[in-house]
């Protein structure tokens, strides 16, 4: 598969502050790539460099094999959608959509065709004669996407396009953006701090911290095999349970020991040798701890006490006390417990994560 956008050794400093640090990233043709990270980690800065709105301090950017590092934004073959819709308030939706094409002196029949197609894809045909003030937030954001759509661009850049919308609209538009990508098959680079948007939309997620990409992978690999403690803690809600302890050997099998309690690591798929004495952090997601009758026959069991439960309809989230830790465990919504109930737990080590406590890298 060919590369659509290639970022080579990109650095950007704002004065003495280094925001992007020697960043490398290849985005495939037709790929939906999500840049995920908390506020201030450099996502918008990276996107603005790709768009040509910011000049990098060092490094190069290629779009479709062309070095665009010094090209004007309009010559890069990109369309950008921002968090704030910034529509022209005095113009109708139709005029907003066609504005860029009119400036570029596109023939009127061509404009009509492109606007009609964008309106159809985004289901805003009934709104074409309205002005932005007569639209809801979601409709305005659809028009903003439409403005990028009418231009024949190779790459769409989205900077948190849904964060100004309420939760319900956000999930609706999320599905529409995914549908749009399936229909257009353009390369899309999408910035968000929302892990759900990242997991649901992305072909690959690049998860960033302080201007450095921590892991670039398929969403399910990021979720199931995080490369380091930061990625493990960033993705998942509630967060992965982290238990601090040490590696040891018991009857020749590696075990994880915390507060005097040992967990067999026989089922753990390690990437590095599990050396006894190493200080480690065991990470287990709430849905990977089985309770009572859900425990596999013959599996190692641990006693725990229910502290609190949070029923959420489809799921029930239990907070349990075990070996000096508080653990969150996700079970089916119909299974209910009371504070003080004694339960047995089974940890599925085949999907757990172990990190070196010092380097914070996956073992
Ligand atoms: N024009 C600027 N001048 C100085 N610092 C900036 C400027 N723009 C952004 N920054 C800083 O760069 C860092 C990354 O910003 P940004 O890329 O907007 O983060 P994100 O989009 O991930 O929230 C932040 O610490 C921010 O304060
Ligand atoms: Mg930003």
- 91 and 132 share one domain: yes
Ligand 1 centroid–CA 45 distance in Å is 6
Atom of ligand 1 nearest to the CA of 47: 17
User: Are both 216 and 285 inside the same structural domain?
Assistant: no
Please give the chain's pLDDT, 363 residues, in tens.
Answer: 699 999 999 999 999 999 999 999 999 999 999 999 999 999 999 999 999 999 999 999 999 999 999 999 989 989 888 877 778 999 999 999 999 889 888 999 999 999 998 898 888 899 999 999 999 888 888 898 888 888 878 899 999 988 888 888 888 889 989 988 998 899 999 999 999 999 999 999 999 999 999 999 999 999 999 999 999 999 999 999 999 999 999 999 999 999 999 999 999 999 999 999 999 999 999 999 999 999 999 899 999 999 999 999 999 999 999 989 999 999 999 999 999 999 999 999 999 999 999 999 999
Distance 9 CA to ligand 1 centre (A): 19
Are 201 and 32 contacting, i.e. CB atoms less than 8 angstroms apart? yes
Residues 318, 346 share a domain: yes
In this prediction, residue 1 carries a pLDDT of 67
220 plus 74 within the same structural domain: yes
Nearest CA to ligand 1 atom 7: 14
Find residue 129's DSSP bridge partners.
Answer: none
Same domain, 22 and 148: yes
| Domain interval for residue 193 | 3-227
Report the phi/psi class of residue 234: left, alpha or beta, with left for phi > 0 and alpha for psi in -120 to 50.
alpha
Contact residues for 176 (Cβ-Cβ < 8 A; gap 6+): 122, 142
Q: How far apart, in whole angstroms, are the C-alpha atoms of residue 363 and residue 359?
A: 10
Torsion of CA 208, 210, 211, 214, to 10 degrees: -40
Q: What is the C-alpha to C-alpha distance for residues 80 and 245, in angstroms, rounded to an integer?
A: 47
Full-model pTM:
0.92
pLDDT computed for residue 201 by the predictor: 97
Q: Which ligand is nearest to the CA of 19?
A: 1
Final residue of a domain: which of 227, 255, 286? 227
Cα–ligand 2 centroid distance for 77 (angstroms)? 22
Structure tokens at 244: 């601090």
Q: For residue 276, tell me if it sits in a domain.
A: yes
Q: How many CB atoms lie within 10 A of CB 251?
A: 6
Say if residue 91 is in the same domain as residue 151. yes
Residue 12 in any domain: the answer is: yes
d(CA 215, CA 192): 15
Q: Is residue 245 part of a domain?
A: yes
57 in a structural domain = yes
pLDDT at 76: 92
In angstroms, what is the span from residue 40 Cα to ligand 2's centroid?
Answer: 7
Rounded-to-integer distance, Cα 172 and Cα 298, Å? 44
Does residue 235 lie within any of the structural domains? no
Q: Is position 317 within any domain?
A: yes
Q: Which residues make up the environment of ion ligand 2, defined by Cβ < 5 Å? A: 44
* CATH code for the domain in which residue 178 is found: 3.40.50.300
Residue 232 lies in a domain: no
Specify the residue with its C-alpha closest to ligand 1, atom 12.
19
- With tokens 């948007």, the residue in question is 197
Number of alpha carbons in the 13 Å side-chain half-sphere of residue 73:
12
Q: Does 194 lie in the same domain as 321? A: no
101 and 7 in one domain?
A: yes
The three-class DSSP label of residue 360 is coil
162 and 269 together in one domain: no
- Tell me how many domains the chain contains: 2
Whether residue 109 sits in one domain with residue 208: yes
End position of a domain, from candidates 192, 227, 262:
227
The candidate with the shortest Cα–Cα distance to 296, out of 253, 255, 346, is 346
- Shared domain check, 246 and 127: no
Domain boundary among 161, 192, 227: 227
* Together in a domain, 163 and 31: yes
User: What CATH number is given to the structural domain containing 321?
Assistant: 2.40.50.140
**Within 6 Å (CB) of ligand 1, which residues are found?**
14, 19, 37, 39-45
Tell me whether residue 362 is in a domain.
no
């Amino acid at each position: 598969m060919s590369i659509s956008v290639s970022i080579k050794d990109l650095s950007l400093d704002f004065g003495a502050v280094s925001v992007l640090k020697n960043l490398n990233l290849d985005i495939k043709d037709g790929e939906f790539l999500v840049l995920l990270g908390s506020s201030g980690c450099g996502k918008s800065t990276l996107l603005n460099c790709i768009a040509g709105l910011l000049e990098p301090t060092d490094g190069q950017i290629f779009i479709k094999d062309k070095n665009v590092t010094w090209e004007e934004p309009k010559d890069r073959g990109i369309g950008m959608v921002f968090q704030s819709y910034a529509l022209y308030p005095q113009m109708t939706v139709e005029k907003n959509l066609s504005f860029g094409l009119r400036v570029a002196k596109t023939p009127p029949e061509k404009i009509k065709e492109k606007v009609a197609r964008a309106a159809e894809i985004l289901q805003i045909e009934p709104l074409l004669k309205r002005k932005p003030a007569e639209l809801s937030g979601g409709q305005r954001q659809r028009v903003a996407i439409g403005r990028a759509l009418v231009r024949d661009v190779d790459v769409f850049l989205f900077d948190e396009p849904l964060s100004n919308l309420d939760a319900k609209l956000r999930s609706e538009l999320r599905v529409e953006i995914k549908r749009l990508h399936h229909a257009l098959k353009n390369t899309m680079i999408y910035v968000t701090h929302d892990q759900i948007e990242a997991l649901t939309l992305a072909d690959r997620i690049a998860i960033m911290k302080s201007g450095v990409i921590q892991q670039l992978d398929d969403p399910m690999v990021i979720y199931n095999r995080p490369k380091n403690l930061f990625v493990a803690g960033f993705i998942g809600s509630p967060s992965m349970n982290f238990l601090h302890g040490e590696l040891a050997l018991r009857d020749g099998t590696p075990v994880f020991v915390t507060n005097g309690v040992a967990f067999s690591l026989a089922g753990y798929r390690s990437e590095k040798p599990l050396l006894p004495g190493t200080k480690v952090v065991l990470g287990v997601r709430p849905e990977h701890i089985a309770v009572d009758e859900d425990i596999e026959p013959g599996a190692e069991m641990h006693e725990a006490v229910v502290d609190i439960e949070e029923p959420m309809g489809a799921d029930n989230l239990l907070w349990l006390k075990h070996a000096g830790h508080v653990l969150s465990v996700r079970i089916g919504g119909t299974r209910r417990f009371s504070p003080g109930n004694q339960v047995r737990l089974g940890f599925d080590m085949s999907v757990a994560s172990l990190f070196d406590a010092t380097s914070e890298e996956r073992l």
